[in-house]
Amino acid sequence: MSLHPCLLILFCVWLHPISCYEFHAMTPNNFLGLPEPQSTFEAAQALVLPIPFEATVSYGGGTASGPEAIIAASQQVELYDREFDREPALEFGVHTLPALDLPDDPEAAVAHIADEVANAALTGKLVVGLGGEHTVSVGVGRGLLAALGEPITVVQIDAHSDLRDEYEGSRYSHACIARRLLDDPRIEQVLQLGIRSICTEEVAYARAHPDRVRIWYAEEIHDGEWQGELIARLTGRRIFLTIDVDGLDPAIIPATGTPEPDGLTWRETLAILRTVAEAGQIVGMDCVELAPHPGQHAADFAVAKLVYKAMTYAIEHRAYP
């Protein structure tokens, strides 16, 4: 008499119990836990680059552990997307690159990140950086500029404007990333959404440069007063999308170093991402400032799901509209 296959499996497990670690080890250790061939470099349309850099955080720490936590949580994200009625990741493929080994000096780290991002972007694939503190975005933006050789617009989802010229003695602080990107004239605009914490210097800088800086404060997003102008500013442009997870409300993502109340809702955030992808062409993106906390794995999962969604929007609309 032969055993039913399911009974046979249970019998084998009874003879040799499988630990939780062994079950986890069965899932490929890459973003979304994709099998081959969807996770190979050759087949993938998206490259995930872990950037575990942390040197200038000014309140809560832990962002260096962000990339690893996002990748681990992503392996629990369902690939099926109801909006698209399919499993997009299995169509476009995602390859996870090795995590960068960076120097402690922020300026040197930015230069190294820029080189690595440029090399990845020259393949024509979508580069997705996982931070790490927000300083990494300066390197991602500069790498995209080097690879594309064309101007780009930055769309920044964030609670903070990051327009200071220096902070706590560093011009490469996480509080200065938008200002450092704007140092390059090839950055056409920095468009910021969800801002609710800003200093006098930053307000003055934004007012002095209305053609290159536009801030939509959180209350404007909540009131729906953003979409028309954002579309007008983005139509036909190449876009670097940078998502600081503190742009979302702490009720959704509490595990971040500088949380601010009254943040973006999940639906507002997805509406912004959808609008950005449809209006222009996302040529690269990053997601930063997750600071994982024990017992708050819901935040890790939310960020992983957000990255997958942003990646899907970007690839669905890669050609110019």
Question: Which whole number is the average pLDDT over 276-281?
Answer: 97
Angle, helix 297-316 to helix 266-279, in steps of 10 degrees: 20
103 three-class SS: coil
**pTM score, whole prediction:** 0.90
Give the residue-averaged pLDDT of 236-264: 96
Confidence check: pLDDT of 20 > 60:
no
Asked if residue 230 has pLDDT above 80, the reply is: yes
Interval 179-198 mean pLDDT: 98
Mean pLDDT to the nearest integer, 121-138 = 96
pLDDT over threshold 50, residue 165: yes
* Contact indicator for 190, 161 with CB cutoff of 8 Å: no
The model's pLDDT over 66-98, given as tens digits with 9 standing for 90+, comes to 999 999 999 999 999 999 999 999 999 999 999
The mean pLDDT value for 50-76 works out to: 86
| Distance in angstroms (rounded) separating the CA atoms of residues 140 and 147 | 11
Mean pLDDT of 283-299: 94
Query: What average pLDDT does range 283-300 have in this prediction?
Result: 94
Mean pLDDT across the stretch 44-64?
Answer: 83
**Whole-number pLDDT of residue 55:** 81
SS3 for 95? strand
Does residue 6 carry a pLDDT above 50? no
Q: What is the mean pLDDT of residues 169-193?
A: 96
DSSP 8-state class, residue 319? S
pLDDT at 5: 39
Question: Tens of pLDDT along 293-307?
Answer: 988 899 999 999 999
Mean pLDDT of all residues belonging to the chain: 91
- What pLDDT, on the 0 to 100 scale, is given for residue 163? 98
Counting residues of the chain whose pLDDT is more than 70, the rounded percentage is: 89
Number of other CB atoms surrounding residue 199 within 10 Å: 14
pLDDT reported for residue 66: 93
Is the pLDDT at 46 greater than 60? The verdict is: yes
| Residue 244's pLDDT band (cuts 50, 70, 90) | very high
Using 50, 70 and 90 to split pLDDT, how confident is the model at 321? Answer: very low
pLDDT tens per residue across span 193-221: 999 999 999 999 999 999 999 999 999 99
pLDDT at 62: 81
Residue among 238, 233, 236 at smallest CA distance from 282: 238
Say yes or no to pLDDT of 190 above 80.
Answer: yes
Query: pLDDT-derived band of residue 12, with 50, 70 and 90 as boundaries?
Result: very low
Task: Identify which of 257, 98, 264, 145 has the alpha carbon closest to the alpha carbon of residue 196.
Answer: 264
Domains of the chain: residue spans and CATH: 8-316 (3.40.800.10)
Mean pLDDT in residue range 264-279: 98
Measured between alpha carbons, how far is 101 from 139 in angstroms, rounded to an integer? 14
Q: What is the pLDDT of residue 206?
A: 98
In this structure, are residues 156 and 78 in contact, taking their beta carbons and an 8 Å threshold?
no
